[in-house]
Structure 1
């Protein structure tokens, strides 16, 4: 069973059920913490619809929080959610501009993760 993240008729990520549900739950929690909508809407069909503008804003806000601190715990907590969100944003045609000091490491993580996000 899967939990696809869709943009119209396009599947951005055909996540495994548990991976997709956990990502969506983490995104909801982070969006609440950041006081912005996540841009992700669960559907009755068992998928998640991605609103490109709102999701891009959520991902940018998540990245801004990540980039504005040197707190290792906060980086560790946000890293998986951020990298997954960056991959989805890129697939939705809404790539986030990364600061030079994060570009190489986050791009490497994105490339590795994207291979698993078929």
Structure 2
């Protein structure tokens, strides 16, 4: 079994159940911390709808927080989820861009990894 994270009719990610639950919990914590909606909808029996506008703003905010952070542990925690957020946004063609040299460098590094974001049918 796995989850599906969808934007409209397109599945942008299909992780295993435990991975999805950890991801959703982390996103919720970041959404609460930064007081910004994540765009990640409710878990409806393993199907999660993504609001592309809210999600794009959320990813941009987490990227900005990571780029300006000077805290080792915060960096490590954000580095655990931000590459997945960027890969999901890229797969959904949401146009995440870096507004500062630090943000652009981070995006370049993450995108060079080419994280596989396989949907269940792939």
* TM-score using structure 1 length: 0.87
What is aligned with 1:61? 61
Give the whole-Å Cα distance in 2 for the aligned partners of 1:36 and 1:44. 22
> Unmatched 5+ residue regions in structure 2?
none
After superposing on structure 2, the runs of 4+ consecutive aligned residues of structure 1 that deviate more than 4 Å are none
Q: Which deviations, in whole Å up to 9, do the C-alpha atoms of 1:24-52 show, x marking residues without a partner? A: 11001100000001100124232110000
**Separation in 2 of the partners of 1:17 and 1:29?**
18
- Between Structure 1 and Structure 2, the one with more strand by share is 1
Residue equivalent to 2:101: 100
Q: Which residue of 2 aligns with 1:46?
A: 46
Match of 1:112 in 2: 113
Paired residue secondary structure (2:15): strand
Q: 2: distance between equivalents of 1:59 and 1:4?
A: 19
Deviation of residue 95 (structure 1)? 2.8
- With CA pairs under 8 Å and 6+ residues apart, which has the higher RCO, 1 or 2? 2
CA contact (8 A) 2:64 2:103 kept: no
Report the CA distance between 1:19 and its aligned residue.
0.8
1:77 and 1:39, CA in 2 relative to 1: closer, same or farther beyond 3 A? Answer: same
Contact 2:5 2:13 in 1 (8 A): yes
Aligned position for 1:11: 11
More helix by share: 1
Distance 1:23 1:47 in 2: 13
C-alpha contact (below 8 Å) 2:67/2:106 kept by paired residues:
no
- The two structures, once aligned, show a CA RMSD in angstroms of 1.7
**For 1:42, what is the secondary structure of its paired residue?**
coil
Q: What runs of 5+ residues in structure 1 fail to find an aligned partner?
A: none
